[in-house]
């Protein structure tokens, strides 16, 4: 059984994961319209992953005697200044998510809720990977600069880059 305090904190995280999913969905749609099919697929996939992060929290809340609340969501931006600012926003957003996960972990320790603490470790590792991936994409975009050919190749290869970062092969 989880405490009311942990339930509230986990529901705030449900909201944040749902917002993440919406933001990446908006980014996916914009990049698709702009003709970046690879980047768009990458963002659609990330949007789906964030929804899974949200679902995992809802299921955990409900299994532990709490209630996962489905939140209302603000409309994300639907236009972006370019691919690099877009990925800078992704990175900043993921850093924000990591900060919130760390706060949650801290609350669990204070409340001596070791079960939820254990459950959250998956999110802690996931955040390391997500931040690393966004940083790698930004590094590549810095190298590319204004080179349209480079951007074309990144758009073509971004899903391969993601596999390499998750496997620890692109450091
Ligand atoms: Fe990328 O945020 Fe979920 O955990």
Residues 6+ apart with CB under 8 A from 47: 21, 22, 24, 25, 28
82: left (phi over 0), alpha (psi -120 to 50) or beta: left
- How many domains does one find in the chain? 1
Calculate what percentage of the chain has a pLDDT beyond 70.
98
Determine the atom of ligand 1 nearest the C-alpha atom of 93.
1
Predicted confidence (pLDDT) per residue in 84-125, tens digit: 999 999 999 999 999 999 999 999 999 999 999 999 999 999
Q: pLDDT-based confidence at 171, cuts 50/70/90?
A: low
Residues with CB under 6 A from ligand 1: 17, 20, 50, 53, 94, 97, 123, 126-127, 130
Angle between helices 148-166 and 37-63 (to 10 degrees): 30
CATH code assigned at 63: 1.20.1260.10
DSSP single-letter state for residue 81: S
Q: What are the tens digits of pLDDT across the range 116-155? A: 999 999 999 999 999 999 999 999 999 999 899 999 999 9
Residue ranges making up the domain that contains 84: 4-170
């Amino acid at each position: 059984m989880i405490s009311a305090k942990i339930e509230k904190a986990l529901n705030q995280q449900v909201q944040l994961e749902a917002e993440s999913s919406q933001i990446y969905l908006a980014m996916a749609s914009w990049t698709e319209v702009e003709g970046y099919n690879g980047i768009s697929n990458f963002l659609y996939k990330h949007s789906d992953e964030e929804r899974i992060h949200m679902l995992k929290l809802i299921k955990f809340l409900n299994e532990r005697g709490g209630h996962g609340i489905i939140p209302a969501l603000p409309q994300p931006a639907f236009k972006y200044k370019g691919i690099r600012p877009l990925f800078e926003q992704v990175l900043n957003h993921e850093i924000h998510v990591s900060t919130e996960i760390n706060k949650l972990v801290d609350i669990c320790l204070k409340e001596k809720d070791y079960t939820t603490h254990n459950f959250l470790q998956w999110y802690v590792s996931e955040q390391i990977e997500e931040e690393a991936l966004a940083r790698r994409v930004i590094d590549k975009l810095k190298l590319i600069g204004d080179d349209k050919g480079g951007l074309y190749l990144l758009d073509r290869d971004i899903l391969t880059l993601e596999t390499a970062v998750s496997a620890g092969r692109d450091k």
